[in-house]
Structure 1
Amino acid sequence: MPTAPHPQTTDELLQALQANGERPYGRTRTVAAEELAEAAEQFAEPVPLIHALLELQEAYTYGSEPRKSPVVFARLLTLFDERPDVFDERLRHLLFWRFKWVANALRALPEIPLASLRQWLTEMRDRYTKAELDLQPYYGQAYQLAAHTGEDTALAYELWAARSRSRLSDCEACEICERARYHLTAGDDERALRAWEPVLAGKESCQEEPARSISYALLPLLRTGRSDEARALHLAGYRGCRRNASMAGEIGRHLEFCALTGNEARGLELLAENRTLFDEVESPRDLLDLLTGVEVLLQRVERLGHGELPAAGFTGRAWTVSGLRAEVRDRADDLAGRFDTRNGTTAHSDHRRARLDRAPLLEGLELTLRTRGLDDVTPAVRNAPAAAPVTARAAAAVPDTLPELILRARALGEQGHPDAEACWARLRTLVAARDYSHPDDPAVGTLVRLYADLLDDEAARAGYKDEHAEAAALHEEAAGLYEDAGLPGHAALAHACAVLAAAELPARDAGDGGADGARAPHADGSGAPGAAVDATGARGDGEAAARTAALTAAHASLVRLHEETSPLAPHQEARLLRLRATALGLRLQTSGSEEHVAAVLAEIDRLHAFATRHDIVGQIAGARLLKATTHAMTGDLPAALAETGDLLDRLKEHGPAWHLPRTHALRGRLHLGLGDAQAAHADLTEGLRLAADWPDGTVDTSLHADLAQACVHLGRPDEALRHLTRSAELNLRAGARVDAYCAYDSAAQLSLGLGRVEDSIALLDSLLAEPDVTSGELDDRLVAQLRLTRARALHTGEDLKAATAEFVSLAAESAGWADDPGSHAMIAAETAVLLAESGEFDRAREAVDQALAAHARDPRFENLSNALRELARLQAEQQGPDGLSGARAFLADAGRVAEEARTAGYEVQGRPLDAALAFEHGRVNAYAGAYEDSLTALDRALGLLGEPGPEPARAGEWAESVRLAGVVEGVYLERPAPALTRLDAAITRLTALGHTEPVRELTALAARLRDEE
């Protein structure tokens, strides 16, 4: 199938070639180049054909198809020999430059005889000599052939390196890489790294650099003790070559780096991300480099005892690490042998063996924010939650005898004791065994009752994971077994849990939940109270109403169950009362209605009174936790704080101790809500310390997320980052993948704010490669959030092309979010700014028009105003007077947005919109040379801002307006006297207020104007 319409004129052909040149290298670009080369044959003019053949050779070269590149060049050379007059200076330069491409392609093909390689170099030398061109490029290719064969390299290197560079020499970055690799082969790491310094520091670059040099420099950096630099370069360098068939060898070296630094799990992740290269790489030399790196990784994983792990390999079958390693070894050995046979040396086999024989250089270098070991990878590869490191203590030892174990599990379960789970887990294993024999003990009861107990525990665990449908079904099944066992109280309690679990379902039908904030209280009261928010934002009115009605009905059902069931043991009646209070608490949380407050408080008081009368300490604590949560939901945070303070005093005296970490966690959240980050940090830290006394899962994983929030407020970003990643790991372990992804996204955003751009991108790349993301199982809005954060990170990392492509894609997708036009407005506005940065103002105008249309349905005043002003600045800055009309159109839109915000009573978080707009009018007009208009606008901005005060931010904005007005008036309008009057007055005012930095800038401008007078 053709990839584009067939060009009918040479102009259309040249336009199509230009458009194809903007595509990424790969099959799509190559196929289009082939079609365009074929189309060029129809024209009588040779120049369009030359351009088409040059594009085709480039596509083959950078698309890893070395067999085809020399054939195309041969056609170009024939055209040159026949019609040298049609090759202008540029085309002639390109032709002679690409002699090197052909030499490189021939070296990559073991079926090409060595004599043919040398013959081609002779042809290159003769052609250069005839054209009176410097021979340094020829000697460079002669050295590369010597290095490839492993013979006479020292002499060849001197003949090349001692010569001065010429116009046809490889770029400085590529030549640096060759010189550094020569020293590396000689065993001189330090000298190689000194040679590489300009490339690794970003001072020299090209299409393949610095990614190529980075891949070679990683191990020397480790060997010379520069592990932090190696880590940073691995992150940046890998991103520069990922999924790129022409850089397969570089990817292989990154896999090797992972294997030798204790990052085998990351290596397997990167291997999976690049699995298509096994079939895409057509260059035998690049494939050999890739396969050797893959084998280094797989060999290491196998030696660590994980040969049975799944591994991403050649298409057509499922691979284990051991199976893929054997396949890779055979193929790589064959390739190395073919090169050595052609070259008459053992250089390739020797080099391959040296790589495979390397010992690990570091036990464990933390490469990413998501550090995992091979034990963690096993379930992740199979699309199950990965394990997280254990920090809490293990559960207490379970009894040895079966009757004791059963009775112990029930007793602990009645108390809500965290150690009950270990007993139930042990019982599940024993009962599932074929030889299980139930004790004949009246105290233990029947096997049917034990089955019911296990089902009830399984249901509770499903509820903790928000799997409410499964929880309801399991509770009902348990209730039936309890009835069969003649235990009506137990059956009633199981029915009650099923009722509440079923009432939770309407809120979860729209997608995964729990993305932000703490879990709601669970049916048995074991969860930490808090506000549950779904992954896509607040629930819709219809959904909230349905859930409110369901919870009202559930409460009525629970009351009936309570009244109709008799007798109930005190602990059973307390749990039923707890469920009644929980149902009303969830209803209040859903509706937010004041009319629901009194009912939930009455149920809590009923529970508290009953638990106190019967001295059920766990339920007393649970009632007070629910009361504190209810106060928090109604906005009475001081009352909630007082309740938790009293509860902590009681827990320290009467217990149960396992409620202490949960209460400290809630108290920490309340301090956060009251703006006391220091007190929040103290409570949350204490909660975390106390949680270590209990098994994992006793305390909600949001404790770490809350601690991260407190750390951010306290200016401790690195500590916050650790807590966010820990929160994500614990959520993964608990199977709460949505919560985990949200925590990781927050970590990526925080990392970006800290300037750790590559860390942020690497983390997001890892998440976006997860099976439940790639298969479309994860909520699409959450995936969009991860992509949005990654696009912003790419933009911050100055990868404008990749960032813009992602934003354009997200803008197209979010246009279909009928339920969330506001998010589309923000994404489209941000997309417009990136398009403008690339000079694509027509497309930027289209994108911002989409943003304005979405904003009309769901306003985003400040975001859109900021974007429109930035668009105006970019157009005026890039296009000068020619861009003034378009820039002013953007500002007119921003003016309407500001007017809408004023009418709506919107309170901005940053600069007042009118003042910011007036300043932008001043700047835009200045860029376009409309200086009088600029000065008028800046005076208006100063009037809107008012006099500066003690706040540094406001003083800085005011001073910048004064500075720009001084430049326009004193420099461009050549009126230094009034400009100096303006500046001197501002300097006096700011000095009196103690704003030293703005004063310094204004003083410098004033001195400049006085010098020019």
Structure 2
Amino acid sequence: MPTAPHPQNTDELYQALQENDRRPYGRTRTVTAEELAEAAEQFAEPRPLVHALLELQEAYTYGSEPRKSPVVFARLLTLFDEQPDVFDERLRHTLFWRFKWVANALIALPEIPLASLRQWLTEMRDRYEKAGLELQPCYAQAYRLAAHVGEDTHLAYELWAGRTRTRLSDCEACEICERALYHLDADDDERALRTWQPVLDGKESCQEEPARSVSYALLPLLRTGAADRARALHLSGYRACRRNPSMSGEVGRHLEFCALTGNEARGLELLAENRNLFDEVDSPLDLLAFLTGVEVLLQRVESLGRGELPAAGYAGRTWTVAGLRAEVRGRADDLAARFDARNGTTAHADRRRARLDRAPLLDALELTLRTRALDDVAPAAAPAVAARTAAAVPESLPELIVRARQLDEEGHPDAAACWARLRTLVAAPGYAHPDDPAVGPLARLRADLLEDEAGRAGGREEFDAAAALYEEAAVRYDEAGAAGHAALARACALLPAGGLPGEHGDAAEERAAALTAAHAALVRLHEEATGLAPYQEARLLRLRATALGMRLQASRDEEHVAPVLAEVDLLLAFATRHDITGQVSGARLLRAGTYAVSGDLPAAITELDALLDELKAHGPAWHLPRTLGLRGRVRFGLKDARAAHADLSESLRLAADWPSDAAGTARLHADLAQVCMRLDRPDEALRHLTRSAELELRHGSRFDAFCTYSNAAQLSLDLGRVEDCIALLDSVLAEPDVAAGELDDRLVAQLRLARARALHAGEDLKAATAEYAALAAESAGWDDDPGSHAMIAAETAMLLAEAGEFGPAREAAGQALAAHARDPRYEQLSSCLRELARLQAQHQGAEGLPDALALLADAGRIADEARAAGYRARGRDLDSALAYEHGRVNAYAREYETALTALEKALALLGEPEPEAHDREHVGEWAECVRLAALVEGLYLERPVPALARIDGAVSRLTALGHAEETESLTALAGRLRDEG
């Protein structure tokens, strides 16, 4: 299928070649290059064909198709021999440069005889000598061949590395990598890393560097104790090579790094992300390196006893770790054998064995913010439970059923493990229900399991599903003659139905009304119920109190406090009379929560202190984490962040003894993150946020989990941990329900927007622009939310302008303006348009002035609209900022008089800082405006005297107000004006 219009003349061909050159390497670029090379045959001039063939060879080389690259080069070489005048100096240089590409392509193909490889190097040397070129690149290729074959490389290395570099030598970064690998092969990690330093530090780079060097340096860094450095380079280096067929070997080394640092789960996640490489890598040498890395990972997972886990492998079938490892091992062994047979050595089999025999270098290295274990990648993984809990599950089926009911009656968290085991047994084919009076009929057990399932659905806030399951359980209980259980199940069905969403206004009132009705229904049901055991009646009283407590949370109405406390007193009296310990502490916890919601925090603390003393003395112990957690939240409300941190930390420590959903561990981590931010411990806060999100994910609260991950990503970006932010979002966005489009599209867009911002912060403008553009296109269809589209389109426009793409930037700004007309975003659009104008004038000078002024005119109209609407900017004043930008734009275009007039207008709008002014941003803005006005006036308009007077007045003013820092740039400019005057 054609991917581009067929060029009708050479101008169109060159334009198409330029457009193709901007595409990422891959199938689309390669197919287009093939079509353009075919199209170039029609023209009488040979030079367009040369350019098209060069583009095609590049697409094959970086698209990992080494078999095709030499064929294209042979055509180029024939053209050069027949018509050397067609090749100007640049084309000639490119031709001789690509002899090395062919040498590398031939090495990568085991079917090419070793004699042919040596013959090609001879051909390259002869051509270089005939052309009068230095031979260092030829010796470099000879060394590479020796290293590939596994010969003694010492002499070949000296013949290459001892020679002076030439214009045709590989780039500095690539040669550094080759020298470092020579030392690495000699087991000299320290020297290899010293050699690599300029590349790893980002001082030398190219198309494949530093990603290639990083992948090799990871293990030496670990072996020399630089684990933090290895972690950071893994994050940035992996992102540079993921999914790229021409860098599949690098991906394999990152998988190996995961396997050897206790990050097997991340390794499986990255393997899934790179599944395309199994089928898209056409280079046998690259494929061998990739498959060996894959095998190291799979071997490690299997050695941990998890060979049954799913793994992403070759298309067309479902793989387990064990099955894929066997497949990969066979293919990689075959490739290594083919290379060794061609080379007459055992080098490749030996290198494979060395990689596969490596022991883990670290038990655990936290590679990403999203730390995951192998249990997390298991399909339908059950919620994590404490190791102590597993031992509490009886083996005997009758004992298991009785135990589950006893624990459930107590409200004990260990009941969850028993019910989980019973669900599995009852669902198994051939289940035989015990004929035991202590167990009762199967209908009763099925009702129990439905009730447990309903409780878990309610915990995930799936209220309608929970209510339906409770109702179904009630019917089954009736069938089993368990009237008390049936009444309690129907009561539970009422509470989720009252939990309507809504926070403010009419929605909050509706929720409060629904909860009032739910409470009334619970009271009626309680009055009519018969055959209730004491623990069931206590639960009904607890549900009544809970309904009124939820109503108070929804309404915040002071009149709703007393009814809650009255219901709590009923529950407490009943539970105390019947010695139901769990409900006694539950009632007191409800009372403390009621005090907290009503604003009586001291009373809440008093109640919680007394309750904690009782729990420590008499239990139940599983209520301690939630009670401490509530006291921590109340203390935080009392602005005692340190005491809150102590309570929440202790709560988390105790929660480790119980299933995380029962102990509310996700909430504890989230609360502790908030406290850590107040204590200025953002890194600690970030850890708690990510742990909270992962627990929410495990418990099925996926929407909440992704919201928390979004907050964690933004915090990591605020902390400057750009690669951590990108890695976290990449992992989250790869979740199956996200990839399948099952998650809320706005939340996914929020995650992608955070990723685009992180890519921008990480200076990956190409990837950031692509993501922004995609988001802008998608959000254009958000008819119910044009304001968000305006924001995304504005950010897209600024990024395009930053990349010098002013036409597309203006189109994106037009989209933003159209959306703004429907849902105004005055400040964001004004800022965007001013920035576009500045960038265009800065890049294009006088030529870009008309377009820049047009953008500022749009910004002016927005300022007028904002003023008419009574809008007050939270940041810079729109009018003064606009005047200042007029000054900058005209200065870039050398319209200095106009620029000075605009800057003086900006100063008038800003007004001089006043003695009582504490707004440092306003002071800084004013000082910068003075500086730019003085610069234009003194240097460009050559009026140093008034410019110096302007500066001196500003410095005196700022000094008198105690803003010495803002005077530094002004004083420096004054010195420059005096020196040049």
TM-score, normalised with respect to structure 1: 0.88
Partner of 1:696: 660
For residues 867-906 of structure 1, what are the structure 2 equivalents within 5 Å? 867-906=832-871
Instruction: Indicate the percent of aligned positions where both proteins have the same amino acid.
Output: 73
Q: Which has the higher contact order (CA 8 A, sep 6+)?
A: 1
Match of 1:223, as an amino acid?
R
Match of 1:114, as an amino acid?
L
Partner of 1:464: 459
Partner of residue 611 from structure 2, selected from 651, 661, 671: 651
Q: Is 1:45 aligned to residue 45 of structure 2? A: yes
Quote the Cα distance in structure 2 between the aligned partners of 1:738 and 1:884: 47
Q: Deviations over 1:399-447 (max 9, x none)?
A: 9999998777666655645455456557667877956536535xx8766
Task: Tell me by how many angstroms 1:214 deviates.
Answer: 1.2
For residues 844-993 of structure 1, what are the structure 2 equivalents within 5 Å? 844-946=809-911, 947=913, 949-993=917-961
SS at match of 2:159: helix
Task: Tell me by how many angstroms 1:994 deviates.
Answer: 3.5
Q: Deviations over 1:136-176 (max 9, x none)?
A: 22222122122222235222222222221111111111111
SS at match of 1:698: helix
Quote the Cα distance in structure 2 between the aligned partners of 1:449 and 1:347: 68
Match of 1:984, as an amino acid?
D
Task: Return closer, same or farther for 1:938/1:58 CA change in 2, 3 Å cut-off.
Answer: same
Q: Is 1:611 aligned to residue 571 of structure 2? A: yes
Task: Return closer, same or farther for 1:466/1:980 CA change in 2, 3 Å cut-off.
Answer: same
The answer to whether the 8 Å contact 1:265/1:374 transfers is: yes
Quote the Cα distance in structure 2 between the aligned partners of 1:220 and 1:152: 22
SS at match of 1:991: helix
Task: Return closer, same or farther for 1:173/1:659 CA change in 2, 3 Å cut-off.
Answer: same
Match of 1:467, as an amino acid?
E
Quote the Cα distance in structure 2 between the aligned partners of 1:939 and 1:625: 64
Match of 2:469, as an amino acid?
L
Task: Return closer, same or farther for 1:321/1:666 CA change in 2, 3 Å cut-off.
Answer: same
Task: Tell me by how many angstroms 1:553 deviates.
Answer: 5.7
Bigger shift: residues 789-798 or 491-500:
491-500
SS at match of 1:23: coil
Partner of 1:512: none
The answer to whether the 8 Å contact 2:592/2:608 transfers is: no
SS at match of 1:240: helix
Task: Tell me by how many angstroms 1:225 deviates.
Answer: 1.9
Partner of 1:339: 339
Bigger shift: residues 936-945 or 829-838:
936-945
Q: Deviations over 1:39-68 (max 9, x none)?
A: 111111111111111111111111111111
Structure 1, unaligned runs of 5 or more: 508-531
Bigger shift: residues 848-857 or 784-793:
848-857
SS at match of 1:336: helix
Match of 2:458, as an amino acid?
G
Task: Tell me by how many angstroms 1:866 deviates.
Answer: 2.6
Q: Is 1:477 aligned to residue 469 of structure 2? A: no
The answer to whether the 8 Å contact 2:612/2:628 transfers is: no
Match of 1:265, as an amino acid?
A
Task: Tell me by how many angstroms 1:622 deviates.
Answer: 5.8
Task: Tell me by how many angstroms 1:247 deviates.
Answer: 0.9
Quote the Cα distance in structure 1 between the aligned partners of 2:253 and 2:26: 21
For residues 797-876 of structure 1, what are the structure 2 equivalents within 5 Å? 797-876=762-841
Task: Tell me by how many angstroms 1:970 deviates.
Answer: 2.1
Partner of 2:677: 712
For residues 582-597 of structure 1, what are the structure 2 equivalents within 5 Å? 582-583=546-547, 597=557
The answer to whether the 8 Å contact 2:648/2:672 transfers is: yes
Match of 1:227, as an amino acid?
A
Quote the Cα distance in structure 1 between the aligned partners of 2:264 and 2:396: 42
Structure 2, unaligned runs of 5 or more: none
Quote the Cα distance in structure 2 between the aligned partners of 1:400 and 1:234: 46
For residues 196-235 of structure 1, what are the structure 2 equivalents within 5 Å? 196-235=196-235
Task: Tell me by how many angstroms 1:795 deviates.
Answer: 0.7
Task: Tell me by how many angstroms 1:953 deviates.
Answer: 3.6
Task: Tell me by how many angstroms 1:262 deviates.
Answer: 2.0
The answer to whether the 8 Å contact 1:608/1:619 transfers is: no
The answer to whether the 8 Å contact 2:384/2:660 transfers is: no
SS at match of 1:360: coil
Task: Tell me by how many angstroms 1:571 deviates.
Answer: 5.6
Partner of 2:241: 241
Task: Tell me by how many angstroms 1:603 deviates.
Answer: 4.3
The answer to whether the 8 Å contact 1:580/1:603 transfers is: no
Quote the Cα distance in structure 1 between the aligned partners of 2:127 and 2:144: 19
The answer to whether the 8 Å contact 2:370/2:691 transfers is: no
The answer to whether the 8 Å contact 1:36/1:52 transfers is: yes
Q: Is 1:789 aligned to residue 784 of structure 2? A: no
Task: Tell me by how many angstroms 1:30 deviates.
Answer: 0.7
Task: Tell me by how many angstroms 1:306 deviates.
Answer: 2.0
SS at match of 2:661: coil
Quote the Cα distance in structure 1 between the aligned partners of 2:510 and 2:832: 38
Q: Deviations over 1:117-139 (max 9, x none)?
A: 22222221222222222222222
Task: Tell me by how many angstroms 1:333 deviates.
Answer: 1.8
The answer to whether the 8 Å contact 1:627/1:643 transfers is: no
The answer to whether the 8 Å contact 1:651/1:660 transfers is: no
Quote the Cα distance in structure 2 between the aligned partners of 1:923 and 1:546: 54
Task: Tell me by how many angstroms 1:212 deviates.
Answer: 1.0
Task: Tell me by how many angstroms 1:601 deviates.
Answer: 4.0
Match of 2:206, as an amino acid?
C
SS at match of 2:241: coil
Task: Return closer, same or farther for 1:30/1:681 CA change in 2, 3 Å cut-off.
Answer: same
Quote the Cα distance in structure 1 between the aligned partners of 2:303 and 2:907: 70
SS at match of 1:864: helix
Quote the Cα distance in structure 2 between the aligned partners of 1:149 and 1:1007: 65
The answer to whether the 8 Å contact 1:651/1:659 transfers is: no
Q: Deviations over 1:955-1005 (max 9, x none)?
A: 333322222222222222222222222322332333344334223322222
The answer to whether the 8 Å contact 1:252/1:294 transfers is: yes
Task: Return closer, same or farther for 1:396/1:957 CA change in 2, 3 Å cut-off.
Answer: farther
Q: Deviations over 1:460-485 (max 9, x none)?
A: 12211123233222211221233334
The answer to whether the 8 Å contact 1:503/1:554 transfers is: yes
Match of 1:969, as an amino acid?
E
Task: Return closer, same or farther for 1:712/1:889 CA change in 2, 3 Å cut-off.
Answer: farther
Quote the Cα distance in structure 1 between the aligned partners of 2:390 and 2:864: 62
Partner of 1:11: 11
The answer to whether the 8 Å contact 1:385/1:732 transfers is: no
Quote the Cα distance in structure 2 between the aligned partners of 1:899 and 1:396: 71
Bigger shift: residues 742-751 or 233-242:
742-751
Quote the Cα distance in structure 2 between the aligned partners of 1:917 and 1:412: 69
Quote the Cα distance in structure 2 between the aligned partners of 1:774 and 1:910: 37
Partner of 2:121: 121
Q: Deviations over 1:805-853 (max 9, x none)?
A: 0010011111122222222121111111111111111211111222222
Partner of 1:528: none
Match of 1:258, as an amino acid?
C
Quote the Cα distance in structure 1 between the aligned partners of 2:443 and 2:382: 34
Partner of 1:496: 491
The answer to whether the 8 Å contact 2:215/2:237 transfers is: yes
Task: Tell me by how many angstroms 1:243 deviates.
Answer: 0.6
Aligned length: 967
The answer to whether the 8 Å contact 2:887/2:898 transfers is: yes
Task: Return closer, same or farther for 1:659/1:859 CA change in 2, 3 Å cut-off.
Answer: farther
Quote the Cα distance in structure 2 between the aligned partners of 1:17 and 1:3: 12
Q: Is 1:437 aligned to residue 434 of structure 2? A: yes
For residues 50-449 of structure 1, what are the structure 2 equivalents within 5 Å? 50-377=50-377, 379=378, 382=379, 384-385=380-381, 413=408, 416-418=411-413, 420-421=415-416, 424=419, 434=431, 437=434, 439-440=436-437, 448-449=443-444
TM-score, normalised with respect to structure 2: 0.91
The answer to whether the 8 Å contact 2:625/2:651 transfers is: yes
Quote the Cα distance in structure 1 between the aligned partners of 2:25 and 2:422: 58
Q: Is 1:737 aligned to residue 705 of structure 2? A: no
The answer to whether the 8 Å contact 1:376/1:388 transfers is: no
Quote the Cα distance in structure 2 between the aligned partners of 1:901 and 1:684: 46
Quote the Cα distance in structure 2 between the aligned partners of 1:19 and 1:624: 71
The answer to whether the 8 Å contact 2:753/2:775 transfers is: yes
Task: Tell me by how many angstroms 1:676 deviates.
Answer: 6.5
SS at match of 1:195: helix
Quote the Cα distance in structure 2 between the aligned partners of 1:145 and 1:684: 61
